[in-house]
Amino acid sequence: MPKSRPRDAFNGVKVFSATKFADRDLLGDRVTRWLREHPEFDIVDMVVTQSSDAEFHCVTITVFYSEAIASRRVAP
């Protein structure tokens, strides 16, 4: 019988980040493309983080997901 998991449980993380203006501008498109390429993942949460110093600004999008893991059958 399969074990149930808490709604917020995850077994995978994908991190997208960009520091250059043009790359930051396209970051959402990169995330959307990745999500479309992985419809089998159950997205649990997404966190957007911005950090900066005097010169550089970084935007990071972290995607937490749950991926079904196929059970391995042990040979008798």
Task: Answer whether residue 73 is part of any domain.
Answer: no
- Residue 4 is assigned to a structural domain of this protein: no
Q: How many domains does the chain have?
A: 1
pLDDT number for residue 2 = 46
Answer whether residue 49 is part of any domain: yes
Q: Which residue type sits at 72?
A: R
Which residues have CB under 8 Å from 43's CB, separation 6+? 35, 63, 64, 65
Instruction: For residue 3, tell me if it sits in a domain.
Output: no
**pLDDT value at 1 more than 60:** no
Alpha-carbon dihedral sign for residues 34, 39, 41, 42:
positive
Measured distance CA(66)–CA(42) in Å, rounded:
5
Does any domain span residue 71?
no
Full domain range(s) for residue 33: 12-66
Q: What is the pLDDT of residue 34?
A: 97
Instruction: Determine, yes or no, domain membership for 76.
Output: no
pLDDT tens for each residue of 7-62: 668 999 999 999 998 999 999 999 999 999 999 999 999 999 999 988 889 999 99
